[in-house]
Amino acid sequence: MNSFIPISKPSITVKEIAYVTDAVSSTWISSLGKYIDRFEADFAAFCGTKYGVATSNGTVALHLALVTLGIGKDDEVIVPDLSFVATVNTVLQAGAVPVFVDIDPYNLCMDPRAVEKAITPRTRAIMPVHLYGHPADMNAINNIAAKHNLFVIEDAAEAHGATINGKKVGSWGVCGCFSFYGNKNITTGEGGMITTDDEALYHRLRYLRDHAMSKDKRYWHTECGYNYRMTNMQAALGCAQMERIDELMERKRQIFSSYTAHLKDIAGISLNRTYDWATHAYWLVCLEIESYNEVQRDAFIRRLKELGVDSRPYFYPMSAMPYLKQADTPVTHALSQKGVNLPTYFDLKEEEIKRICDAVKQSL
């Protein structure tokens, strides 16, 4: 009997085990240790930024970025309506007001034209999300931000290594925020990172991340800070993953190519689309079924599971959540019902991709 194929799983080798074992053996298992500084430096260099600030997860990276930039009560932050809910929750947690905008149907990221229309005198920041591995149109978004004197905070949780005209995500805004959750392109189990070129912002991020404790007077705190630190063990795992990141990214591209070859002749479906100015990180393979609504999509997912293949629906529109205000985002609402993510992980074998594609054809 064929084994069940999960949507995702991390790639852990002897290198990761050796580095984590070394961190544990050193007894530096909390938020100090050689691997933290190394991981921050390695990841910042990979993104093409001067600084990296490691955090306990990607959600707190977004929250820390917002509060460090002074975004709070009654400030408006523009976000795309299609994203994981952490994007909007961090805005709310900062005391700010999320303003939802629709997406570009081609790359699933925020539509710059919708951003321009959403700006008010209360707008303080734009938070583009590089969804499923495709970067948002940062040239257009940065031009809008510059015209209106707004901060740009990249939510790059799903797009490690994606580029825009050769320049990596995480280096386009005042800062970029990443997640290293277990299903991401590289992982630390839990964990996050903020990248930036702004030295003053970097130092303040580090200060607030560590309880806002004075550098000169231990256990003296001049304001309310946060415990958003990464552990040395997590960073050790991250350092090992960084040594393999080119290999991990290349395998994602190969997996997408295999899916494309197996599904290319099926009418009425599409896979991840990529603008010619972008390189895709392929966090997850996206399958959109043109004729489907939410009920049909969910039945399709159940049928795949019966055939031994895990999958997941696109994110729901964040504005559809019962605690949030409904938004007029028709593209988001339409595409969220048609989209399914298929298994996309380093150790996925070619015969398993064929089996998944056969299950897709059968389920359709």
Segments forming the whole domain that contains residue 311: 245-363
Instruction: Assess whether pLDDT exceeds 70 at residue 201.
Output: yes
For residues 189 and 261, membership in a common domain is answered with: no
**What local confidence, expressed as pLDDT, does residue 2 receive?**
81
Indicate the pTM of the whole model.
0.97
Q: Residues 6 or more apart from 235 whose CB is under 8 A from it? A: 23, 33, 35, 36, 38, 39, 40, 54, 188, 191
Q: Residues 95, 217: one domain?
A: yes
CATH number of the domain enclosing 299: 3.90.1150.10
pLDDT at 290 (0 to 100): 97
Q: Which tens digit of pLDDT belongs to each residue from 5-32?
A: 999 999 999 999 999 999 999 999 999 9
Q: Rounded mean pLDDT of 53-72?
A: 98
DSSP string of 18-48, one letter each residue: HHHHHHHHTT--SS-SHHHHHHHHHHHHHHT
Residues 147 and 164 both lie in one domain: yes
- In this structure, the answer to whether residues 44 and 178 fall within a common structural domain is yes
Domain presence at residue 92:
yes
Question: Rounded to the nearest 5°, which phi and psi values hold at 146?
Answer: -65, -40
**pLDDT band (50, 70, 90) for residue 1:** low
Q: Are residues 93 and 105 in the same domain?
A: yes
Asked, for residue 4, whether it belongs to a domain, the answer is: no
Question: pLDDT of 35-57, one tens digit each?
Answer: 999 999 999 999 999 999 999 99
